[in-house]
Amino acid sequence: MEVLVRIAVYPGTFDPITNGHIDIIRRASKVVDKLIVAAAENIGKSPMFSLDERRDMVNQEIGLIKADNEARGYQSEIEVTSFNSLLMHFVDEHNAKFVIRGLRAVSDFEYEFQMVGMNARLNPDVETLFLMSSERHQFISSRLVKEIAILGGEIDDFVSPRVKERMMANINKK
């Protein structure tokens, strides 16, 4: 008998990876056998960090999730990679059947609703699973975290100390 492996892709720019992203990764890893966290190139967003830097930050942050999952008996695998192609092509290449998306507010739903429709047309075999952000992370967005940091505000509640350090180093270079 063939064992079915539930593979999901959690795509995002992760510029930077926030505590909200970490929350979604932690929760998604509990419901699939393999979670591929995929940093998108997305040059249209003028990222603060290069694709390699973003992938590296995500890798650093999920180390704690992996250890916690092992301690709790979760068998899911978490892989970090990047992509610069159409999401549905990337999903196909990795034999994934699910896309994970986080929702913070009604405004997120409108955009995601359009994306689900387009993705379903491109690949009707892939399901999108939405996870609502936990109440303490609903307002966090990478764009706002960058803006707060650039303007000298405190970002400790929004990103890990490692991410904050990298952000501040990046800001101070400019």
Q: Annotated catalytic sites, by residue?
A: 21, 45, 104, 142
H, E, C per residue of 26-47: HHHCCCCCEEEEEEECCHHHCC
As given in the structure block, the two tokens for residue 72 are 């709790």
CA distances from 131 to 24, 77, 172 (A): 7, 19, 35
Please tell me the distance from the alpha carbon of residue 29 to that of residue 40, in angstroms, as a whole number.
19
